[in-house]
Amino acid sequence: MPTPHFRSQLAAALLGLLGTAFLVNSLSVHPQDKGDKASATQSKESSSGSSSGASTTQGGAAGGAAKLSQTDERMIKQIAEANLAEISAGKMAQDKAQSDEVKSFAKKMVDDHTKALDDLKQLAQSKGVTLPTEPDKQHMAMEKKLQALSGEKFDKQYLQQAGERAHKETHRLLQRASSRAEDTDLKNYASKVIATVEGHQQMAKDTTRNLKSSAEGKSGGGTGAAGTSQGGSESSGKSGHGKTRSGKGHSSGSSSSGESSSGASSGGTGAGGAASESPSSSGTSGTSGTSGTSGTSGSSK
């Protein structure tokens, strides 16, 4: 029969074995749990990171497509209407203008403002703004007036309205946008297009000046020719009516045949000189009227 001391040692040994078995079990099970927990934690963090990244991307996209302020939106639409008006009027001028120089100016307007409008459309799309598709009422009324004109009148009116007046308004609008717009992209667009519009203004002034000089040249040539003709008529008229008195003889600046008959019929009295007075048949022959002095010799007999 085991002694109490032996039993206590046996119990201690059994407890040691149980502790060892428990420790071994813990070492074999817990690493997997820790790995699972770590994997779960990483998965959670990854999911959280993806969600955060998506949220940031969406926020960035929303920020890029943020709508313009009411003032900026109104300005961008007005700029679009100005471009549309220049394109429409330019196309009309290409068909109706009489001057080739005006047609060339109109083509330049169509090309440049079409490009400016395309750039503005891209800007408006990125800001979520829908642009107008036709000019405003004021510009449409201007086009209606131009449509009723033709020839030189059309050329002159087109350069005044679409070339100078409309570009002056557009330039003022772009200046306001470049200095007062809240949106940076709109500011940059306006600053870039201002240089183009200033070039159009100078081109319109040059074309108007050239047309005016050409018209004055044509008018001056016609007046000079008329003045020469009129001066010649007056000169011939004066020479044709020249008269010369000598004694009792009175002879007009008539043709040479009239003067001869005057000399023959003087008969010693010289009265034939007065009787032979007749209208001049040729302005140039009036200078020979001095030959009427033959009446004087007739009276001396």
Where do the domains of the chain lie? 68-214
Cα 195 from chain centre: 12
pLDDT on residue 37: 54
d(Cα 284, Cα 147) in Å, to the nearest integer? Answer: 55
C-alpha closest to that of 147 among 82, 89, 105? 89
pLDDT on residue 217: 76
State how far the alpha carbon of 174 is from the alpha carbons of 30, 158, 188, 267, in Å: 72, 22, 10, 98
d(Cα 240, Cα 198) in Å, to the nearest integer? Answer: 63
Q: How many CB atoms lie within 10 A of CB 69?
A: 13
d(Cα 144, Cα 127) in Å, to the nearest integer? Answer: 33
Check: CB of residue 244 under 8 Å from CB of residue 289: yes
pLDDT on residue 102: 97
Instruction: Name the amino acid, one letter, at 91.
Output: K
Which DSSP string do the residues of 84-125 spell out, in sequence order?
HHHHHHHHHHHHH-SSHHHHHHHHHHHHHHHHHHHHHHHHHH
pLDDT on residue 293: 39
pLDDT on residue 281: 39
d(Cα 141, Cα 162) in Å, to the nearest integer? Answer: 12
Torsion angle of the four alpha carbons 256, 257, 260, 266, in this order, in degrees rounded to the nearest 10? -120
pLDDT on residue 296: 39
Tell me: the pLDDT tens digits for 156-211?
A: 999 999 999 999 999 999 999 999 999 999 999 999 999 999 999 999 999 999 99
Q: Is the dihedral of CA 223, 228, 229, 233 positive or negative?
A: positive
pLDDT on residue 218: 73
pLDDT on residue 172: 96
d(Cα 241, Cα 135) in Å, to the nearest integer? Answer: 70
Tokens of 99: 């001057």
Question: Which residues in the chain show pLDDT less than 50?
Answer: 30-31, 34-35, 46-64, 223-301
C-alpha closest to that of 249 among 295, 298, 290? 295
Q: For residue 80, with 0-12 CB atoms within 10 Å meaning exposed, 13-18 middle and 19 or more buried, which class applies?
A: buried
Give the burial string for 125-135 (b: 16+ CB within 10 Å, else e): eebebebeeeb
From 1.10.3720.10, 3.30.450.20, 1.10.1040.10, 1.20.1260.10, which CATH number describes the 68-214 domain? 1.20.1260.10
pLDDT on residue 191: 96
pLDDT on residue 243: 44
